[in-house]
Structure 1
Amino acid sequence: MSFVLSQGTRPFPSTPSDTSSTPLFSDQSGHEQVDNSPSSQSSGILNVNNGSSDHMQRYLVVSKIDEIFAKMIDVLADGGDALVIPYRRSSQGEGGVLRFPGSSVNEAVKFTRMMRIMELARQALMSGRIISKRNIYYQDPDLFDNQRNVNELVDSLALTLGVAASKGLIAGSLTLTMKDDTVVSCMFDQDPGETIPPASMIKEIHFGDARWVLVVEKEGKGYADLATLEFLNLVHSTQPFMPILGVFDSDPHGIHIMRTYKYGSPRLSHEENARVPGLRWIGVKLEDVLRAGVSASEEDGSQSSLGESSQSSQSSQSSFGQFSQGSQDSALFGKQITKAAVYDESLLTKMAQSIIYCLAAKGGELDDEEKEQLGEIQTMLLLNVKAEIQAIDNMGDLSDWLDEKIGVA
């Protein structure tokens, strides 16, 4: 999951000039507090609570690294044949090991790189510093050879130690000042973007000329991690007038991921800052894909049923109706729009029930956003179809579509 901060395409309500930097300070107990002076209250600065749980997690990871090193020392003391580092490449895969001496030169090099990464990670954890994957690479570029090697090994180490590697990436007009006074630039010169750090480690946020935030479900990242949710919550709290816009796949999981961003996840219910209530869902929706398909067919001179439907009516309902009546043989179906699976229907039904349960709990009516979500869920169930973000680009121009959506958001 990644998101972009940009200066946008149209003016939004201005915020006080002092919100370009978000100052935080520590009270006598050492806990993070908000600068509540009159000049900062208008900024909507979030109260970042850096409690004991962060320290416990840090030392737990340190103890696991120390355990690996201790076993190596025991092997050397006992005259063992090989040093071993536990190694997992995916959350689903079985655990393996890296050995030194290894079965090949490549394994020996990988072992050495992992040793160096564990050393740097331990130093950072003990000092309370943030160290990014890019920082790790520049600590020893001759050893690591390229950034990709670092990225893969850090992710594998996170899996091995049972801690979550940050999945969120950020690029845009934003600069972060960390508590150790290191500065992280999120400008677009980083490919694919800067890893989002834990919000509890951020001292200041410099928004530059950012005018909106675009959250994009991409890179196979799926559901947002805690660091991403808390960071977006921090941005929304410190800049409440800055729109946070979301683009997700037009499928059950896309809607579910969007709702997780906006309303939070049940498994993170104890984390009050792990949601982004100000998120605006701008797409992708089935209506967008169907209309893009209609436009593409008309440009090609196609006489498909979708094209005929659009000529008789410009409403989205006519497009939906014509599609459901037999457009499965059209050029659009099977390429940009696919049939929903049984598990998709199950997830859609559960989300619809969740919205209805919330309505009953509130004892009132659904708001406009909830009505839109429920309507999209019902449409997917009715048509039994789904689509990805890429469908818009395949049938037209995703940039033009984004310009239009951001302009009216």
Structure 2
Amino acid sequence: MKLDAWLNERLDRVKAAGVYRNLRAMNGAPFPERKMNGKNQTVWSSNNYLGLASHSRLISAAQEALQQYGAGSSGSRLTTGNSVWHEKLEKKIAGFKRTEAALLFSSGYLANAGVLSSLPEKEDVILSDQLNHASIIDGCRLSKADTVVYRHINMDDLENKLNETQRYQHRFIVTDGVFSMDGTIAPLDQIISLAKRYHAFVIVDDAHATGVLGDSGGGTSEYFGVCPDIVIGTLSKAVGAEGGFAAGSAVAIDFLLNHARTFIFQTAIPPASCAAAYEAFNIIEDSREKRQLLFSDINMIRTSLKDMGYLVKGDHTPIIPVVIGDARKTVTFAEKLQDKGIYAPAIRPPTVAPGESRIRLTITADHRMSDIDHLLTSFHSIGKEMHII
């Protein structure tokens, strides 16, 4: 059998299961209102939580660095790719996360893969939350350590697993800070308490919490007032730029610089991206009021959807998962939303478990009250039409 014929057979199975995916081109800067396939859509699936990806200050900072340093970094940080902007941004991130040091990666995905494939050794074990992001799962697979999965944010199960893994040399607990598909918040204070009791290390991926949770947007560490051993994050969500990072002690960051293959062998992000992210952190530190308004909108939307009769998952975060259940029905729901000018794609297996297909709404500071009113009216009418509510 030829390769294309074999792959087409496999794609046909994906289509039959209702989980086939394709790309949609968006025309314009990442504002809530964008044109897709010639039609205006209000986007409700962006991780641009604070609206910084299109902020004039970030664009100006990037343009200035672009003129001075060029379009690309030309190599890995350890060869020709290191600039003063990379080092400035790392110091800014360390200060923001209240750690001794930080290290930039080219994406949050690469940061997770690099940390988890280099820190734990063969005689170690990683205890990983059941709903951790794919980048954490892949990092665990790349690691020489064993991996044990504990039930989602279930501290009793985590403690049992810590008890059962005492034979290992070292134990690493790794968790998302905010879980991207369920919008739940990891109880980081309880996790760190257990880690201290059982002599484990804690690694938290704060991708969806950085810039959002905590009084100054510091993430789940600030939200709970605790200090994990390693904090991983991304610059592509609330920060509005591109790249990832790991933050921790000076020794831990020095170790990653020398051992994390996804840092050593990866071309560095451009200095212009660093300059934009640096300016974003300046804005985030002064955005307390914007976060308060954002969470006011989040609370209103969550409450309204629940009152309609929808199954709404998650905690008080910008991620609002509305569970429809069946994959095909969820795709139909998303298509009906799009007909009304609302872009919120269906989330289906394997991203979520079978029977858990959903419309995953993400709320940003740029959404207007008129956008919210139209969203809620559309959910009500479509839900009634499809006999979901």
Return the TM-score normalized by structure 2.
Answer: 0.24
Higher RCO, 1 vs 2 (CA within 8 Å, ≥6 residues apart) = 2
Return the TM-score normalized by structure 1.
Answer: 0.23
Bigger helix fraction: 1
